């Protein structure tokens, strides 16, 4: 198996599959997660090929677009890698990482059974916070016809994946139900350092949002 060949084919496959996505789960999201995973791997270690392929394929069939089916992504990734001649052990590792990436609720414990999984999960979650995380949150909310904000609808800290998946929330509530919780759920030291500033940026954004919501910036 040629490592560079399988990587280039994976990039082509992901670009083609996610073309036209407007929800914030497009090729450029995958690209940033892939590059961040490479950055984290340099400091933290782990199996480079497994990390790269899992980062590239982590959203190939996201549960949010497949009725909450968490098995779809690993299955699609496994089938693709098998077609490319990848070995069974590599396929198993990549599929395992993908199965553990998704956030499943505020009170649902994270799954990350290996350093490789920690790195890919951290990389994906770093793209969910900070300036790009804010932009992606509003893009996704628009595709789901979510309310921007309603002070009468409080955030909910979900205790299981099903309630999290099926919840009808607002885009601003999503900050409290997920994004502001991610800083303290990073695994690697490298990701923790990056998350600190991105987290503060979101806090500053929310302060400004509420100020403008109440026209508090008017003099």
Q: pLDDT tens for residues 96-135? A: 999 999 999 999 998 899 999 999 999 999 999 999 999 9
The crossing angle, in degrees rounded to 10, of helices 48-57 and 72-83 is 120
Enumerate the β-bridge partners of residue 170: 147
Q: Which CATH class is domain 3-213?
A: mainly alpha
- How confident is the model over 60-98, as pLDDT tens digits? 977 776 666 778 889 999 999 999 999 999 999 999 999
pLDDT at residue number 17: 94
Domains in the chain: boundaries: 3-213
Task: Assess whether pLDDT exceeds 70 at residue 1.
Answer: no
The closest of 157, 185, 184, 182 to 169, measured between CA atoms, is: 157
CB 158 within 8 A of CB 105: yes
Burial class (CB in 10 A: 0-12, 13-18, 19+), 42: exposed
CA distance 55 to 30: 7
Is residue 219 pLDDT above 70, yes or no?
no
What residues does 93 pair with on adjacent strands?
none
Q: pLDDT for 181-201, tens place per residue?
A: 999 999 999 999 999 999 999
pLDDT average, residue stretch 41-59: 97
The whole-number average pLDDT for the span 161-177 is 92
Name the pTM for this structure: 0.93
Distance between first and last Cα of the chain: 66
């Amino acid at each position: 198996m040629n490592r560079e060949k399988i990587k280039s084919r994976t990039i082509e496959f992901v670009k083609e599959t996610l073309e036209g996505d407007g929800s914030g789960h497009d090729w450029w999201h995958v690209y940033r997660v892939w590059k961040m995973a490479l950055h984290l791997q340099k400091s933290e270690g782990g199996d480079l090929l497994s990390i790269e392929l899992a980062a590239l394929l982590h959203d190939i069939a996201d549960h949010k677009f497949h009725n909450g089916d968490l098995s779809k992504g690993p299955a699609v990734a496994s089938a693709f890698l098998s077609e490319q001649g990848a070995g069974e052990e590599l396929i198993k590792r990549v599929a395992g990482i993908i199965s553990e990436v998704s956030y499943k609720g505020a009170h649902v414990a994270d799954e990350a059974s290996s350093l490789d999984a920690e790195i890919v999960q951290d990389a994906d979650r770093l793209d969910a916070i900070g300036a790009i995380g804010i932009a992606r949150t509003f893009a996704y909310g628009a595709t789901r016809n979510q309310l921007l904000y309603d002070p009468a609808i409080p955030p909910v800290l979900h205790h299981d994946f099903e309630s999290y998946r099926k919840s009808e929330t607002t885009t601003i509530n999503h900050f409290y139900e997920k994004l502001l919780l991610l800083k303290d759920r990073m695994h690697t030291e490298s990701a923790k350092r990056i998350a600190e500033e991105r987290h503060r940026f979101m806090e500053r954004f929310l302060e400004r949002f509420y100020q403008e919501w109440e026209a508090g910036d008017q003099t």
